[in-house]
Each structure stands twice: as C-alpha cells, then as structure tokens.
Structure 1
C-alpha cells in the first residue's frame, strides 16, 4: 500500500489480521448498503518511507456471514472522502467479487491460460477469445435471469454446465443448421433480439444445468497413533533375512 501511495495511486484493500495499524478513532455510523451496515474510522499506520500516515478503515457488518463464517469485514483505503465516502467504498469493494468470479470462469471453464502457448501474441489471442466467450455466456445468463429470476440463476445454475453444453453441441449444430439460417439474427435490432433470447430462455430446462455446491469441509481430528504393546511391529525384511 505504501508503494501504491508513493506512485500517487489509490487503493481499496481488505484488511488482514496482521495489518499494523494503531491509534484508531471511534467508529462512526455512515449508513447501509446492500448486504450490510457501514461504519468508518481513521487509523494511523507505521510507514518507514513516509508515504502513508492516516488512512480510512471501513467496517461492514454483514446481514449474512461469508462462506468463511465472517460476520463483518474491514476495508482500508486512502481515497479522499470527497471522492468516495464509506458507502461508495463498500459498494466498490462488493464489485471485486464479480471480477474474481469472471477470472475464475475464464481460468477454469474457458482455459484462458494455455501453458503451451509460449509466444506472447498467441497467449494474448487465446485470452481475448476467452473474454469474448465469457461475454456470450453473460448474455445467455442475462436472458435466463430475466425469465427465471436473478436468485435462482445465480444460486442454482452452473456456468460450467452451460459452457459444456455449448461446447458439446456447437459442431453438430453448425452442420445441421446452414450458415444462411444464422443471418436473420444479424438483421434484428436490439429489442427483437432480446425478445428472441427471452423466448428461448423460457424453454430451457434448468434441471439439466443445476449446480452442485460443495459441502463445507469437515474438520478431522488428529488421531494419536499408539503402538500395540502385545504385538509390536516387526520388519518383514528382518524376518526374511533370518529365514
């Protein structure tokens, strides 16, 4: 963070437990955003280079705990209050999750980083193709959300299964449907195309694309190993050598 400030840049970063701040002011209630209540305070940090001194510390008390069980999160920023108040900082930070989800889909579903592509231009081209594919998937998901609801699509539909379905049927579809049949979509305006997508989305069987979220990991108790007193362990190699 000191390096960012040294370059006259700004940051919005989640606080970790080891962050060395001191001399904090009292929390001030700022307001509420989607998902929680926002408070703010000012803290001092020890910076040997002298680029950081007082920074803003934003606390969000969440309406629902995170998947890690956190009921509140803390965000650090050096943005001036007149540029972004605590509510804006909290909203900006929430968008971080959408960006992380995007890169997770690019990496795991669209394989945007092909290790065998050693040439920078080839690697960049593959990454751009993955981005275009993500845009197409986003349009499909938007059409589904407009018909079936945002919550149902975000919580119950798997982007992996959707992409796998497109990947599996694309070649056969392009053979079965001649290129001239696709030109009709190029002639549509935005409203017409939207209506077509909504009509198609209403016919989708969502059960086929149901996601299967992983259950929480169970903590395993460390078992203390004890050696049997009556039957001690004997090396098989030692017995064979004696025979």
Structure 2
C-alpha cells in the first residue's frame, strides 16, 4: 500500500513539474504584456503588474501591422495544412492498404527524412524556390511547410488506417464506390481523431516556423507572425512589454484551436500510440 501511494505521489510531482515548466513561460509573457517599461526594469523584480493595462496590446497593433502578420500566418498555415492532409491521406492509405514492395524501407525512409535539421535544408529549398520564381509568395512557404509536415502526418495516419477493417471498404466498393471514394467516405471519417491530430500538428508547425519565413519572404506585406514580431525591436531598444503583447496575440489562435479539438487530439495521440 505504501509503495502504491509513493508511486502516485511521484507521478503527481512529475506531472506538477511538467505543468509548471509548460505554463510558466506563457504566464510570464502574459504578465509582462500587462506591465510598463519602467515597471519591467525596476529592482527588485515584481512578479505581478502593479497597475495592469492593455496599452501594450494597442501599441502592438499600431507600431507594426500585426493584423497583417496574423492574416499571412493564418493563410499560410491553413493552406499548408490542407495540402498536407490531402497528400498524407493518400500516402498513408497506399502504405496501409496496398501491397507495396519494400514497405518497411519506405517507412524507414519517411522516419529518416523527418529527422533532417531544417537548417540543412535551407539553402537547397531557397535555390529551388528561386529557380521556380516563387520567392516572396505564399507558395514559397506553403510547399516547404507541407513537405516538412508530411512524414509525421503520414505516420500518424498509417497507424489509424491499419486499424480500420478492410470489410468496410469492400462493402462501400460493392455499393458502387471507387477505392478513392471508399477512402474519403469511409476510411477518413472513421479516422477523424488521427486526421485532426495530423492537421493540428501541421498547422502549429507552419504557424510557429521562423527560419524559412525569414529567408524566403523579404516583402513586408507578406511577413508572417514570427518574422513580424522581431520588427518591434529597434537597433538599441527591446520593448519587451509590447513584444510580449504581440506574442500573446499570436498564442491565442493556436490555444483556441487546441482547446476546441483537445479531445480529438488526445484520442488521436493515444490511439495512434497504442496501434503503433
């Protein structure tokens, strides 16, 4: 009995440490966004703002076109997510259902590709985009983001598709569906948790990406949120309260997305992990 209680206490401690580690940075950014410059730099440091105000949020929208950064990030992330889901669904179905030769080698290659550091791909991708005359366009970001998210999304969906009985597809095809029709009318709806999980992962990856967005787009009208936030700093000044306000504005859409679909995402991650 004592060992069981000790095990539960240890799990609670570990869970508490992980929770604090995950929430503290966001909480500190939120508190900073409600402070003034003077209050932020005074000593000793005050944890809570003495007179919270929303002035930094108004400044974040007036000093820089934050609404434009948000729009660009949303459109790029949405388009890349839709394209990623479409391609990964087809790829995962082929791996899970078709009798492919060297299936294990294909899966190993997908895993290997997903481990490449992004910085090693920067120059080749830049040369490709320049050769295609796609620099300073949304497409220059949508295509690389799709490629970068495909391995993980494909592996997630393969795990789900393999758990769906083939008889359901066969019944749909007997009723007149083509194989593609059975895929999108039967397999994909039954794999909804996996599809939502893959979609949210692809969206968050595209929403947060900085290096490619900085390198491929020099047009101020096409800046995404991560690149736009760095525009708030001057040559010798770092307005952390305003930057923090912009960061909170950028966190909110992703937080809302995760809250709305958290049950499907948790179900997708746990079910996929068990099946995998």
Q: What TM-score bracket applies, with the shorter chain setting the length?
A: under 0.3
Query: Highest CA radius of gyration, 1 or 2?
Result: 1
What TM-score results when the alignment is normalised by the length of structure 2? 0.21
Tell me which of the two structures has the higher relative contact order, counting C-alpha pairs closer than 8 angstroms and 6 or more residues apart. 2
Compare the two structures and name the one with the higher helix fraction.
Answer: 2
